[in-house]
Structure 1
Amino acid sequence: MGLYRENGQRITRAGFPAVAVTNAPQRVTEDIYKTEPYGRGDGQPEGSRRHLLYQAGTIVTPSQIDRLFTAATIGTITPATGPAAGGTTVTITGTDLDGVSAVDFGPTAGTELKVVSATQLRVKAPAGTAGAVNVVLTDDADNVSKTNGFTYTA
């Protein structure tokens, strides 16, 4: 017995036409649920519902997993200014903020981070030097920044 190409040429073991898979499947080890807000007309109170997304044992690829973690976006930062001494409670609105684990004001981490919802979080600005700094959110999917998003006043 032998293996052959469509044109009749024999295939050797060393010449077997295959490449390594870069998006190798993975087995989910526990049930994974997804939450979604109730839609208008659902007849439900404000809030969200949870449904089974992947049952334990399901085979998924890394690219499928990556698509589940949407990068956050920054819409507004309020207030956008505060004293150089720090301590200003800042509200950040945007999308997919529920995966944010840290907020940096320039090179310094904010404190007392509270994720209010997927569209809002609050954080205390640290002390800084007068001038504008980038605000950077550390997120499950990728870091997101708003250039000159906060300005320290003297």
Structure 2
Amino acid sequence: MGLYRKDGSRIIKAALPVALLDDPLVTVTADIYQSEPYGRGDMQPEGSKRFLLYPAGCVVRRSVLDRLFTPAAISTISPAKGPAAGGTVITIKGEALDGVTAVSFAGKPGTELRVRSATELSVKTPSSTSGAVTVDLTDDSGAVSKANAYTYEA
């Protein structure tokens, strides 16, 4: 038995067509649980259930754990307009919002951030000059931006 390329040529060990990856093995030091909403057949009116995903002592690749952190996504912002003086409480709807730790408007931080669920949060706008601005969300996966997502009016 041997290893071969698509064209039929034999692959030797010294010429194995692979690339080294920087994806170290890591040891989980505390139990990691994942939650998911109850399904239709779970006979539960609302909420979520948790299950053990990785027990303490488990060894996994770092990339496997990194994939567990889904980046946030913005679907809607309401209201989409407000005064340049700021102070408008807006609602952002989207996905994976439960990890959001900051919201900014053209680089200025919003205040009174309240994460209501994985699909909704609210935040108070800072003051700014008139015009449309980019809204940035910061979470464990980095920053997510939506250009011209909120408009300041004079």
Q: TM-score, normalised by structure 1?
A: 0.86
* 2:124 alignment partner in structure 1: 124
* 2:65 alignment partner in structure 1: 65
Residue segments in structure 2 that go unaligned for 5+ positions in a row: 1-10
**Superposed CA offset, 1:106-125 (max 9, x none):** 11000000000000000000
**Superposed CA offset, 1:49-102 (max 9, x none):** 111111000011111011100111000000000000000000000000001000
Count of residues in Structure 1 that have an aligned counterpart in Structure 2 = 140
Supply the distance in 2 between the matched residues of 1:133 and 1:117 (Cα, whole angstroms).
Answer: 25
What does 1:89-100 correspond to in 2, within 5 Å?
89-100=89-100
Supply the distance in 2 between the matched residues of 1:62 and 1:134 (Cα, whole angstroms).
Answer: 32
Residue segments in structure 1 that go unaligned for 5+ positions in a row: 1-5, 12-17
Amino acid at match of 2:35: T
Within the alignment, does 1:75 sit opposite 2:75 as a pair? yes
Percent of aligned pairs sharing the same letter: 58
User: Per-residue deviation at 1:142?
Assistant: 2.3
The higher radius of gyration belongs to 1
Amino acid at match of 1:144: V
Q: Structure 1: which 4+ aligned runs deviate by more than 6 Å?
A: none
Supply the distance in 2 between the matched residues of 1:20 and 1:68 (Cα, whole angstroms).
Answer: 23
Supply the distance in 1 between the matched residues of 2:87 and 2:80 (Cα, whole angstroms).
Answer: 13
* 1:145 alignment partner in structure 2: 145
* 2:106 alignment partner in structure 1: 106
Supply the distance in 2 between the matched residues of 1:33 and 1:120 (Cα, whole angstroms).
Answer: 22
Q: TM-score, normalised by structure 2?
A: 0.86
What does 1:39-58 correspond to in 2, within 5 Å?
39-58=39-58
